[in-house]
Structure 1
Amino acid sequence: MFITRTITAVAVTVLVALVAPGVASAAPAGGPEVARPQGVSTDGRALQPGGAPAAPRTGLAAADPGPRLTRAEMLTRARTWADNPVPYSREVFKNGYRTDCSGYVSMAWHTDRNYWTGDLDTIGVSIGYDDLRPGDMLLYHNPENPVNGSHVVLFDHWTGAVGGDFLMYEQTKPSTKHRTWSQAGYSRSKYKPFRYVGVIEDAPAGGSTGGQSVVHDGYTSEFTVNAADGHLQETFLARLGGAWGTQDLSASAGTPAVAGQPVAVVHDGYVSVFTVNAGNGHLQETFLARLGGAWVTQDLGALAGAQAPSVMVHDGYVSVFTVTPGGQLQETYLARLGAAWATQSLPASGVSANSAAVLHDGYVSVFTVGTGGQLRETFLARLGGAWTTQDLGAAAAVQAPAAVVHDGYVSVFTVTSAGQAQETYLARLGTAWGTQPLPATGVTAAPAAAGHDGYVSVFTVGTGGQLRETYLPRMGAAWVTQDLGAGTPSAAGRPAAVVHDGYVSVFTVGATGGHVSETYLPRIGAAWASHDLTSTAGTPAARP
């Protein structure tokens, strides 16, 4: 069960990109004047398969409308009707869902019964227009003609600046559409935005951290650097069970040859990949504004050195952390979509490896290793405050850190000069940091970490190139290490990990030949398996 939380709506200004109250607009096919009858009983209950009305719900049952799902899953479900448009009907059902507007939203949200515009708000939380995110709904329930004169649509993503025009999914006459709000000609004053109570944010609420692998729009994307020419490469899975594909982003988007490794993050409907230009040392962004659009590359200007960047989204900002050739930690940030990028130095110098960043308890924390091996935290307690750096006192580290937030803890994983993996952790804000060794030795590269299914997993590569997982099954239990074997070729360099579609996927680069492999766990209790993406998808040999 989960409890609905109230989100205060924010005031917004009607923008000219949307249809303002009192402004006449043309009525396109399936537009504002089209009647969209919904399957509803005479006493206002949504019809279910077979024509029976929904039974009343009270108490906790009313607050538990079905399985929770991510925004990516919502859009993936919405696309199943949009890709092969389904005719509009109040009487016809498809896979248990009415093929009218409210049945479509019920289907996309995977609710356990059909809703209608008269009760969809009971499983939504009111939000502001500028707060709309993929999978949220815009609901118009017309009290004067509720059954035939109401409508509901699903928000996809902004086509430009936040608050302007946007793409949406809707079930309307004659069939499912994926179009912009402006094309539909709807009145913004009538539609109220809501967020599904069962949404699982694709990233932790309030912020997200990036990595070489990200999940977006139902896709899983892994970014690597071609060992032969330094080109930025994307290897992607469009849907679970589909075939992996690959593309050269340097060729298609003009990304200059890359130094170090890429890092990617999803924000504001965009996928952004940050790299360091091998020619001039500048930080650069290669981004996809929307699925199906073209990738674009821009030079962000900041001198970033050879260390791979780290990135996170917090408080509406996108922050990219880099290390200058002189070892100075800096932040290059975007305050909001459409604003200019800016760069500032942070109070951490002598940094010897790339950083890891997390958001926790309202803090932004960036973890680095100094030239003497000391693990340090540079943190921002609140937006507008001053950045502060402290030494966390852990044993000298020689590899870049990895960090994860779990069970109220902040855990930072490093490797000592002797190849011992260790965890430096903060049990709660205001307490002292502690450090403990983990049962993984002979570690040769920086670790990767992920939280999944109540587990915390740390992935490392041993002296023989074997991929290993050191995991904590639950708080208070003992850490355990296992060799993932699974046919994974001997690996070199740092692994990358991502959680998607219930799977845990770990990507490695082969020590011989540079082949990119995925080692994956389909579910807890199943066996790990591996396949070679260079062989199956054509991913070029990658730089470790």
Structure 2
Amino acid sequence: MARTNSRSRSSGRAGTSAVLALLLAMIGLVAASTQATAVSVRGGEISRAEIIARAQYWVDHQPGPYDQGRFSPGPGPAGELYRRDCSGYVAMALHLKDSPNSSTLRNYAHPIDWPDLKPGDFLTIPGVHTILFHQWLGNGQFTYYSFGSTPVKHATSSTSARTIDSHARARYEPYRYNKVVEPDGSTPPVPVTPVVAADAPSAIIDADRISLYAIRSDGNVWGASQAAAGGSLGAWQTLGSGGGSFVGRPAVLRLSDGRIALYARTTGGVVLGTNQSVVGGTFGPWMAIGTSGAGVTGDPVAVQLSSGVIAVYATTQSGTVAGVSQSVPGGVFGSWTTIGSAATSLVGRPALVRFSDDRIGLYAQGADSYVYGTEQATPGSAFRAWARLGSNGAGVTTEPVAVLENDRVTVFAGAGGTVASVTQAGPGAAFDSWLNLGSGPTPLGTATPTVIASPGAYSVYARGADGTVWGSTVPNHPEPSVWAPIGSGASIVTALTGLRTSGGVNCVYGANSGGAIAGTCQSVPGGGFGTWSNL
């Protein structure tokens, strides 16, 4: 019995040692596996396997309802938040530093052909929708990830399908992230592509001399100006030093002394600014505007008050509008602070008006598809709580545009297939009911319109879903009107900007599908528009 027990204990010790050795080996294998699997840093190189794993994370851990004004975390460190919509989802999967839209997402990638799609590439319809490609199943079938509506999903489609994720298959453009790492550890070479316009331009006019400013795919702000009124635009050139990470649409101000100031947001969510040293001179280095300014997600707007002080406003990843201003004219900017309080998240580029007494009014698109507004009670005071504008205002699909006439505010916005408007009966009065301004043969509410004021009327221009541009003239208390195409040869993919010369000629600009800033002007005041041309 003693010998038997001894052998049993010896056998048990041997068995325990074997199990321990096996466990240690397994731990070693897990450790080795962990070391061999690289985990990306935000904005850095990333493997295809990690892209798919990150995409699957929001399928397995639903971030919440689709909401362009709200942000949720991915699987990375705390604080890495991404917008809850289609392009925000793809940005999360790619582990980008920013949450670009379906148009500016292309700035982080290069075009490829459909047959070359691999796991982690993406398909986008600029300005409309984007999905993440997963894998081929054979016979043209494939799987993909999408957050076009609630919930985030993994779905199947085909290259022969008429629609993919409720959008025409033929409109999708395939792209490959520039920092993707292949399974063999290599990073595919990024083709040399032309530097193109990445978003809508901003325009300004002085003594009938037009200047345009736009952010291009290299992340810099570019500008071009007429040497004389009515002349051709000069060569485009980069403005300021220290750029290279800008996205969206810059804000432009002509200061009271004639110099130009520019403000733009970076992929890191910070607003930078620069200005000319002298009228007509070069622009200085880009500098951060204010303190505590991280987290900006919407394009900035800016205004110079009668005192000479400049104020800048933008929406943030927390769904608020924040603002910052100089303490004295030409001085440093203070700390960014939240403007007013809102019952819903605010998104996109706010619209700004400056009243005759120097008060500021701000208007922004809500994540619930209404437009909200706030204004200062007195010049320089705190802003009131944000409130919905007018009645029957549901269904807004773009950022608002605000026009001020004798201190009476009128607001326009895309609303599905049309453009809608709401106005005050008089200065300071309540806003009326929203009114649809008619429609054309193509949906007109796909991008932010531009509005040009003229005596007693507003000229409204909107991009159609097919890239054409349409115009309508409405009274300054807007009513439905007829829409007609402006110019010929347009293929616009962004919001529009417009201006009016002292002679009453309207000009309209946007970025086209070829990545160029294009424009057209009336031949005479109130007349027809010429052919859209690259500028």
TM, length-normalised to structure 1: 0.55
Q: What secondary structure, in the 3-state scheme, does the structure 2 residue paired with 1:245 have?
A: coil
Task: Choose from 259, 275, 279 the match for 2:247.
Answer: 259
Checking the alignment, whether the CA contact within 8 Å between 1:507 and 1:516 is kept in structure 2 is yes
Matches within 5 A, 1:139-538: 212-216=202-206, 219-227=209-217, 229-250=218-239, 252-269=240-257, 270-278=259-267, 280-296=268-284, 297-301=286-290, 302-316=293-307, 317-342=309-334, 343-349=336-342, 350-360=345-355, 362=357, 363-388=359-384, 389-392=386-389, 393=391, 394-406=393-405, 409-416=408-415, 418-434=416-432, 435-440=434-439, 442-443=443-444, 444-472=446-474, 474-475=475-476, 478-502=479-503, 503-510=505-512, 512-534=513-535
After superposition, the Cα gap between the structure-2 partners of 1:318 and 1:372, relative to the gap in structure 1 and judged at 3 Å, is same
* Structure 1 residues 478-503: Cα deviation after superposition (integer angstroms, max 9, x where no partner): 54333334224221110011123423
- Shift in Å, 1:253: 3.2
- Shift in Å, 1:217: 6.0
Q: Distance in 1 between matches of 2:466 and 2:310?
A: 38
Checking the alignment, whether the CA contact within 8 Å between 1:225 and 1:232 is kept in structure 2 is yes
Q: What secondary structure, in the 3-state scheme, does the structure 1 residue paired with 2:482 have?
A: strand
Q: How big is the alpha-carbon RMSD for the aligned residues of Structure 1 and Structure 2?
A: 2.3
- Shift in Å, 1:335: 4.3
Aligned partner of 2:454: which letter?
H
Q: Which consecutive segments of 4 or more residues in structure 1 shift more than 4 A?
A: 474-479
Aligned partner of 1:356: which letter?
A
Q: Distance in 2 between matches of 1:268 and 1:238?
A: 21
TM, length-normalised to structure 2: 0.56
- Shift in Å, 1:274: 1.0
- Shift in Å, 1:453: 4.5
- Shift in Å, 1:304: 4.9
* Structure 1 residues 59-112: Cα deviation after superposition (integer angstroms, max 9, x where no partner): xxxxxxxxxxxxxxxxxxxxxxxxxxxxxxxxxxxxxxxxxxxxxxxxxxxxxx
- Shift in Å, 1:222: 0.9
After superposition, the Cα gap between the structure-2 partners of 1:262 and 1:488, relative to the gap in structure 1 and judged at 3 Å, is farther
Checking the alignment, whether the CA contact within 8 Å between 1:452 and 1:504 is kept in structure 2 is no
* Structure 1 residues 186-237: Cα deviation after superposition (integer angstroms, max 9, x where no partner): xxxxxxxxxxxxxxxxxxxxxxxxx81112365311111213x122111211
After superposition, the Cα gap between the structure-2 partners of 1:449 and 1:475, relative to the gap in structure 1 and judged at 3 Å, is closer
Q: Distance in 1 between matches of 2:479 and 2:388?
A: 27
Q: Distance in 2 between matches of 1:422 and 1:291?
A: 39
- Shift in Å, 1:329: 0.5
Checking the alignment, whether the CA contact within 8 Å between 2:406 and 2:427 is kept in structure 1 is no
Q: Distance in 1 between matches of 2:219 and 2:439?
A: 32
Higher relative contact order (CA 8 A, sep 6+): 1
Q: Distance in 2 between matches of 1:387 and 1:533?
A: 42
- Shift in Å, 1:319: 1.7
For structure 2, the residue ranges without an aligned partner over 5 or more in a row are 1-200
Checking the alignment, whether the CA contact within 8 Å between 2:251 and 2:301 is kept in structure 1 is yes
After superposition, the Cα gap between the structure-2 partners of 1:455 and 1:348, relative to the gap in structure 1 and judged at 3 Å, is same
Of structures 1 and 2, the larger Rg is shown by: 2
- Shift in Å, 1:464: 1.5
Q: Distance in 2 between matches of 1:307 and 1:494?
A: 14
For structure 1, the residue ranges without an aligned partner over 5 or more in a row are 1-210, 535-544
Matches within 5 A, 1:75-90: none
- Shift in Å, 1:376: 0.7
Matched with 2:24 is none
Checking the alignment, whether the CA contact within 8 Å between 1:260 and 1:306 is kept in structure 2 is no
Q: Distance in 1 between matches of 2:427 and 2:406?
A: 13
After superposition, the Cα gap between the structure-2 partners of 1:326 and 1:466, relative to the gap in structure 1 and judged at 3 Å, is same
Q: Distance in 1 between matches of 2:431 and 2:477?
A: 17
Matched with 2:89 is none
Aligned partner of 1:368: which letter?
A
**Deviates further, 340-349 or 479-488:** 479-488
- Shift in Å, 1:407: 5.7
- Shift in Å, 1:368: 0.7
* Structure 1 residues 111-158: Cα deviation after superposition (integer angstroms, max 9, x where no partner): xxxxxxxxxxxxxxxxxxxxxxxxxxxxxxxxxxxxxxxxxxxxxxxx
* Structure 1 residues 403-441: Cα deviation after superposition (integer angstroms, max 9, x where no partner): 11136531100122x333110111213432112111136
Q: What secondary structure, in the 3-state scheme, does the structure 2 residue paired with 1:358 have?
A: strand
Aligned partner of 2:427: which letter?
L
Aligned partner of 1:268: which letter?
S
Checking the alignment, whether the CA contact within 8 Å between 2:226 and 2:234 is kept in structure 1 is yes
Q: Distance in 2 between matches of 1:477 and 1:374?
A: 19
Q: Distance in 1 between matches of 2:484 and 2:294?
A: 39
Q: Distance in 1 between matches of 2:427 and 2:479?
A: 23
**Deviates further, 321-330 or 235-244:** 235-244
Aligned length: 318
- Shift in Å, 1:386: 2.3
After superposition, the Cα gap between the structure-2 partners of 1:430 and 1:402, relative to the gap in structure 1 and judged at 3 Å, is closer
Checking the alignment, whether the CA contact within 8 Å between 2:402 and 2:410 is kept in structure 1 is yes
Aligned partner of 1:286: which letter?
T
Q: Distance in 1 between matches of 2:326 and 2:530?
A: 39
